[in-house]
Structure 1
Amino acid sequence: MSIVYKCRHCGHVVGKLDQQVIDSTMLGFDQLSVEDRKEMIEYQNNGDVHITVICENCEESLGHNPHYHELDFFIQ
């Protein structure tokens, strides 16, 4: 089972953890609202968990171009 952190904008895999057991409290999932969990966490059929995040490069682009926040995807 893997926990895969992937950028919501560019699709870059930010990180991957290989775990046998996932402690959602240790990972901070309990700090997210129910809505955020639905939006950010996707459970795969093979047991993997995909977490949608924003990578450093996209975060920097958003900082320089605040109007990008209005877009679902700003990288073509």
Structure 2
Amino acid sequence: MKIIYYCRHCQNRIGEVDGSHATEARLGLSSLTPDEAADIITYNSIENSTYVKTVCEYCQEALEAHPELNLLSNPLQ
């Protein structure tokens, strides 16, 4: 199973991990609450992939430089 990371704001693909050797604990996903996990992790059984929302460096820098963007529902699209 592939684990694919993508930016929650700009939707760009950030990276991919071969899930056959990765566990939720090793990836830090086991520390999420059920609500956080539901918001961040999406499973796609057809593609046999797991998608994880994160924030890319570009969007992180933009949000830090302009914190008012956090008030918008889609700040960087």
Instruction: Please name the residue that 2:52 is paired with.
Output: 51
Structure 2 unaligned runs (5+)? Answer: none
**Identical columns (%):** 29
Structure 1 unaligned runs (5+)? Answer: none
TM-score by length of 2: 0.88
**SS at the partner of 1:49?**
strand
2: CA distance, partners of 1:59 / 1:22 = 26
The within-5 A match list for 1:19-38 is 19-38=19-38
1: CA distance, partners of 2:74 / 2:10 = 8
* 1:66 counterpart = 2:67: yes
Q: How many residues align?
A: 76
- Cα deviations by residue, 1:17-40 (Å, 9 ceiling, x for unpaired): 123254111111111111110000
TM-score by length of 1: 0.89
**4+ residue stretches of structure 1 with deviation over 3 A?**
none
Please tell me the residue identity of whatever aligns with 1:30.
Answer: S
